[in-house]
Amino acid sequence: MNKIREIKNELLNDSYFEIDHKSGFKIFVYPKENYSSAYAVFGTKYGSIDTCFRVDGNEEFTTVPEGIAHFLEHKLFESEELDAFARYAKTGAGANAYTSFDKTCYLFQCSGNFEASLEILLDFVSNPYFTEQTVQKEQGIIGQEIKMYQDEPGWESLFALLRAMYHNHPVKIDIAGTVESISHITADLLYECYDTFYNPANMALAVAGNVTVEQVLKIADKMLKPKKSKNVERKFQIEPESVVEDTIVRNLSVSMPIFAIGFKERIETPCRSLKETLESNILLDIIGGKTSALYEEMLTDGLINTTFDTEYFEGFGYSAHIFSGESTEPQRVRERINKEIEKLKKHGVEKEIFERIKKKHYGGFIMDFNDIDSLSNSLIGSYFNGDGLFDQLNVLESITLEDINNRLNAFNIENSSMSIIKQG
Amino acid sequence: MGEKSYIEIAKDVKLLCVNSEKFKTNVIDVDFFVPINEHFAALNVLSSLMGHTSKNYKTFTSFNRKVESLYGADFETNIATIGEKVRIRFSIEIPDDRFSLDENSISEDAVDFLIDIILNPNCENKKFDEENTAREIRFTLENIEAEKNDKRAYALSRLRQLMCENEPYGIDREKLEEDVRNLDSEKLFAAYESLMKTSTIVVTACGSLNGDMLKEKFCEFAESIPERQAAALSTVYVEKAENIRYFTDEMDITQAKLVIGLRSGMKNSEDDYFAFRVMTDIFGGGPYSRLFLNVREKMSLCYYCGARLLREKGIIFIQSGIEEENYEKALNEILNQLEIMKKGEFTEEDFNSSITALCDAFRGVGDSPEAVCTFYNSQVFDKELVSGEEFAEKISQVTREQVVECAKRVTVDSVYLLKGESGNNE
C-alpha cells in the first residue's frame, strides 16, 4: 500500500504530498494550480564525493575512479534499444540530468504527455545498460566537458580553494574527475556503482506543477518495482581541522585576478542542520552582503567590483564560508574580511542589521515558491538532508541575534585559505 | 493570455500587465529602447550606475538597503543589444502584497522605487557625481575585460564583431573600452538626457499587481519627462553572405572554441520566422537535433554543439567546444549537416521531434512571471502579440517544405576559431 501524507503551509497557502510508495521509494508531489507544465526529478543520494564505500555484509571497501557518478549519469541515458533522449523526443519533454558533490538527478519538464514522459524517466533510470563500446564513446564527450571547465576561471578558483582547504575529503576532486581518472572506468564498475546507490532507500522522486497525486501514482505503480535497499557505508578519511595551504595561485587566461577565500569550519558531525545553514547565510550577508559596510568600503577603495559574492558551502563532511570575486589586490581583500570578522566577534552584530537581513530572507523564502524546477529540486534536496520543504520558515523565525553571534565561531582565521587565479 | 497587447499609455510609452493569481511574486520590467548611437559607451556605464546609486540613495549601502527593505527584492539593471536596438532594463521581482508584514503594498513601493531611481539619478548641474562616475567607469571596463574569462562568450562576441564589422551590430570591444575610458560625468549626463528624451519606453509586468495603479504611476512618470520624441529603431538584415571568411585568435586555453555565423536569409524579424525557428531547431536545437546527434553523439567530438537563431538580426550562430586538432573534422561535419538540411534529407522523425519539443516548451512559458515578461517583451515590436499557446500553434503549422525552403536561403558568412597559443598546446 502507498502511504500518503499532505503537508500544508498556511502562509503560502500551498501544500504538497509526501508518499511512501509500496516499492520502497519516497515520492513527493507538489500540485500547482493553473500551471501548464510539470517538472519531475528522480534523484539518488550519490555524487562525486562517494568514491569509497561498502555495502552491508561486505568486508572490503571498494574504491572507484574519480568522476564515476557523473559518468554513470551520462551513460544511464542509453539503453539496448532507443536512448532516453530519443524517447523523450516523441513526447516533447525537455530532459536533462546533473551530478553534484552529493547527488545525481534526472529530470524533465513538459506541458503535455506528462505520463508518458514520467514513464520514460522511471524506466531508463531503473534499467541500466552499459557496454565497453558505449563507455569508450563517452570518454571522448566527457573529456571535452572536463576541458571546458578547465578554461572556466570561476570553477577552477573554487576547486583550487577546495584543494587548499581539504587534505583528504573528496570534495576537493572535480565532479567530472579527470581525463586520466575516467579512462579507468569500465562497464563492470558502472554496474557496481549503480547497484550500490540506485535503490529505494537512497532515492526519491519529486514532481511539481500541473500534476496530481493520482497521475504520478498511476505511473509509479506501474514502473517502480520493489527492490532490496542496500545499506551503504561511505568511507572518508579523517579530515584535519587545519587547512593544507594558506594560499594557492594558479595561472589561467583571465582579465584580472579572481579570488576565493574560504573559512573551513570545524565540524564534529558530518551534516549541518537547517538552522546552522540559515544562520550562516544570514551571517554572510551581515559580513559581506550588498548592504554591509565592508562591501561599500571595499568598492570605494577599488579593492573589489560588483562580482563580489558570498556562499555557505556545505555537504557531507565538509563546510566552509566562502567569499569570492575579482580584485587586483586579493590579499588586501582578505585582510579586510578578517578584520571585519574580528570586529564582529568582539562587538557583536547590531540588532537592527540582523532584523533587516532576516526580513530579506523571509522574502527570499517566499520567492522560492514560484518555479516548479526549483521546487522539485528543493524537495529532493531537503529530503536528502532530512528536512521538510516548508521547515525553513519556522527555523528562520526561531533564529535569534544570539544564535548569529554564536555562529561567528564557525569562522576561524587560522583555518582559512585563499585561491588566486591570475593571468600567467 | 490570447487577447493581450501592449497599450500606449503616453507617447512612445507602452505598458503590458499580465495578471495572474497563481504566482507568489510580481515582476516589473521597465525597458528603454534606443538605437546603437554615439552614447553607446555611456549607456553601458549608466545601466550599471543607475542600478547602484541615485539622488535619494547616494551610497551603495543606502541604495541596497532600500532594495533589501522590499523583502529582499531581486533587483537588477542591465544593458543588451536586441538586433541593433539597445535595451536598458530596470527589473524587479518582489513577493506579492499578500505577504507584506505591515500595511504597505510591496508592489506599489517597488514601482515608486523604480520610478524614483530612473527620474532622480545622482546628478547635479547637468553632471553625474564625480566619484560615482569614476567608480562606474572602472566597473564597466572590468566588466568588458572580464568577457575574456568566459571563453564561450568571448569567442561568440569576437565572431559577432568580425562578421558584422560593417554593421552597427558588430560592436568593437576595443573601441568600446576606449570610449568608456574617455567618458566623464557630463558626457554621462548627456547620454542620460538623451535616453529619457529619445527612447521607446516599455513596461512589462506580471503577477497579481494592480494594473490601474501601474498605468496611473507610469502615465504620471511619462508626463514628467517633457518633449519626448522616440528615435527610430531599425536593424540591418544582411540576407546573403558572399563568401566564407575565416578568422582565428589565440589564447592560453585548453579547449578550442569554434563559432560559425550564418546569414539566415530573413529580410526582417517576421519573415518566415516560425519556419526558420523550426529549421534552426532541427539543425542544432535540442538533443534530438542533427548537430547533437552527429557531432557529439556519433563522432564524440564535443560536449556541446548547437545552433541558435537571432530573430532580431537574422543571424544563426553555431557554437562548439572541441580539440583544436579536430577543427576540420568538426567544421566539415557541421557544414555537411547544413547541406543535409538544404537538401531536405533530414528524417521525418527529426522534423516531428523538433515541432513536438518546441510546441511543448512554448505552451509552458506562462509558468513563471519572469518568463512571461521576457516572452511578451521579445514581441513588443511585432505586428501582433501572441501567447505561448498561439506561438505553439504557429510552430505546429510549419511544414517540411517550408523548412527546406528556409534552409536553402541560409549562407555561411564567417568561421571563427579560438585556439591555444602556438607552441603551447596541451
Q: Which of B95, B254, B359 sits opposite A363 (nearest CB)?
A: B95
Q: What is the pLDDT of residues B37-65, one digit of tens each?
A: 999 999 999 999 999 999 999 999 999 99
Would B232 be classed as within a structural domain? no
CA distance A392 to A394: 6
Per-residue model confidence (pLDDT) at position A397: 96
For residues B258 and B196, state if they share a domain: no
Task: Using a CB–CB cutoff of 8 Å, tell me whether A296 touches chain B.
Answer: yes
| Measured CA angle at A176 (ends A274, B318), to 5 deg | 110
Would B276 be classed as within a structural domain? yes
If you search the block for the grid coordinates 523523450, which residue do you land on?
A88
Contacting residues of A for B60, CB less than 8 Å apart: 290, 295-296, 299
Which residues have a Cβ under 8 Å from the Cβ of B396 and sit 6 or more positions away? B355, B359
Would B192 be classed as within a structural domain? yes
Instruction: Name residues 83-142 of chain B within 8 A of A (Cβ).
Output: 93-96, 99, 101, 135, 138-139, 142
What is the residue-level pLDDT of chain A in tens, covering all 424 positions?
899 999 999 999 999 999 999 999 999 999 999 999 999 999 999 999 999 999 888 889 999 999 999 999 999 999 888 899 999 999 999 999 999 999 999 999 999 999 999 999 999 999 999 999 889 989 989 998 999 999 999 999 999 999 999 999 999 999 999 999 999 999 999 999 999 999 999 999 999 999 999 999 999 999 999 988 888 888 888 899 999 999 999 999 999 999 999 999 999 998 999 999 999 999 999 999 999 999 999 999 999 999 999 999 999 999 999 999 999 999 999 999 999 999 999 999 999 999 999 999 999 999 999 999 999 999 999 999 999 999 999 999 999 999 999 999 999 999 999 999 999 8
Instruction: Name residues 72-91 of chain A within 8 A of B (Cβ).
Output: 85-86, 88-91
Would B229 be classed as within a structural domain? no
Q: Do A290 and B64 touch (CB under 8 A)?
A: yes
CA distance A197 to A230: 8
Q: What is the mean pLDDT of residues B113-134?
A: 97
CA-closest candidate to residue B26, choices B91, B90, B88: B91
Q: Do A144 and B101 touch (CB under 8 A)?
A: no
Q: What is the mean pLDDT of residues B76-92?
A: 97
Domain that holds residue B78: 7-223
Buried b (16+ CB within 10 A) or exposed e, A84-112: bbbbbbbbbbbbebbbbbbbbbbbbbbbb
Query: Could you give the number of structural domains in chain B?
Result: 2
**Residue B139's pLDDT band (boundaries 50, 70, 90)?**
very high
CA distance B168 to A240: 58
For residues B287 and B216, state if they share a domain: no
Q: Which of A112, A140, A363 sits opposite B300 (nearest CB)?
A: A140
For residues B184 and B297, state if they share a domain: no
Which residue is catalytic, options A18, A66, A73, A119? A73
The pTM of the full predicted model, rounded to 2 decimals, is 0.94
Would B112 be classed as within a structural domain? yes
Q: Which of A94, A145, A291 sits opposite B68 (nearest CB)?
A: A291
For residues B390 and B332, state if they share a domain: yes
User: Which residue from A minimizes the CA distance to B356?
Assistant: A92
Instruction: Name residues 374-413 of chain A within 8 A of B (Cβ).
Output: none
Domains and CATH numbers, chain A: 3-234 (3.30.830.10), 247-423 (3.30.830.10)
For residues B20 and B62, state if they share a domain: yes
Q: What is the pLDDT of residues B367-394, one digit of tens each?
A: 999 999 999 999 999 988 999 999 999 9
Would B1 be classed as within a structural domain? no
B253 CA to chain A: closest CA distance, Å? 6
Q: Do A144 and B321 touch (CB under 8 A)?
A: yes
Q: Do B135 and A299 touch (CB under 8 A)?
A: yes
B292 CA to chain A: closest CA distance, Å? 11
Q: Which of B223, B256, B281 is the last residue of a domain?
A: B223
For residues B38 and B151, state if they share a domain: yes
For an interface test with B, which of A13, A110, A111 has the most B Cβ atoms less than 10 Å from its Cβ? A111
For residues B198 and B345, state if they share a domain: no
For residues B264 and B127, state if they share a domain: no
For residues B216 and B357, state if they share a domain: no
B193 CA to chain A: closest CA distance, Å? 26
Task: Using a CB–CB cutoff of 8 Å, tell me whether B363 touches chain A.
Answer: yes
User: Which residue from A minimizes the CA distance to B287?
Assistant: A85
For residues B150 and B254, state if they share a domain: no
Whether B70 and B100 have beta carbons less than 8 Å apart is answered as no
Per-residue model confidence (pLDDT) at position B425: 43
Per-residue model confidence (pLDDT) at position A237: 81
In order of A32, A293, B51, the CA distances from B77 in angstroms are 30, 22, 5
What cell was used for B394? 504557429
Would B412 be classed as within a structural domain? yes
Residue A60 appears among annotated catalytic residues: no
Q: Do A367 and B146 touch (CB under 8 A)?
A: no
Q: Do A363 and B71 touch (CB under 8 A)?
A: yes
Q: Do A255 and B146 touch (CB under 8 A)?
A: yes
Task: Using a CB–CB cutoff of 8 Å, tell me whether B255 touches chain A.
Answer: yes
Beta strands of B84-227 (E only): which ranges? 85-95, 123-124, 127-128, 200-207
**Residue B3's pLDDT band (boundaries 50, 70, 90)?**
low
First to last CA, chain A: 62
Burial class (CB in 10 A: 0-12, 13-18, 19+), A8: exposed
**Residue B423's pLDDT band (boundaries 50, 70, 90)?**
low
For residues B65 and B136, state if they share a domain: yes
Burial class (CB in 10 A: 0-12, 13-18, 19+), A178: middle
In order of B273, B274, B310, the CA distances from B270 in angstroms are 5, 8, 12
Per-residue model confidence (pLDDT) at position B2: 44
Would B2 be classed as within a structural domain? no
Whether B357 and B288 have beta carbons less than 8 Å apart is answered as yes
Q: Do A93 and B303 touch (CB under 8 A)?
A: no
Instruction: Name residues 162-201 of chain A within 8 A of B (Cβ).
Output: none
Whether A220 and A211 have beta carbons less than 8 Å apart is answered as no
For residues B326 and B367, state if they share a domain: yes
Domain CATH for B394:
3.30.830.10
CA-closest candidate to residue B157, choices B259, B84, B251: B259
Q: What are phi and psi of A267, to 5 degrees?
A: -125, 140
